[in-house]
Chain A
Amino acid sequence: AQKVTQAQTEISVVEKEDVTLDCVYETRDTTYYLFWYKQPPSGELVFLIRRNSFDEQNEISGRYSWNFQKSTSSFNFTITASQVVDSAVYFCALGPYGQNFVFGPGTRLSVLP
Chain B
Amino acid sequence: EAQVTQNPRYLITVTGKKLTVTCSQNMNHEYMSWYRQDPGLGLRQIYYSMNVEVTDKGDVPEGYKVSRKEKRNFPLILESPSPNQTSLYFCASSPLAGYYEQYFGPGTRLTVT
Contacts and interface: CB of A to CB of B under 8 A. Distances in A.
Contacts of A95: 97-99
B97 A102 contact: no
Interface of A: 6, 9, 32-33, 35, 43-45, 47, 50, 91, 95-106
A9 B97 contact: no
B107 A97 contact: no
Main secondary structure of the interface of A (DSSP, over half): loop
B48 A100 contact: yes
Interface of B: 33, 35, 40-45, 48, 50, 56, 58, 88, 90, 92, 94, 96-104, 106-107
B106 A105 contact: no
Nearest to B103: A47
B90 A50 contact: no
Contacts of B96: 98
Nearest to A32: B98
A106 B42 contact: yes
Given A44-B106, A45-B104, A99 B45 contact: no
B42 A96 contact: no
Contact of A44 (B42, B58, B99, B104): B104
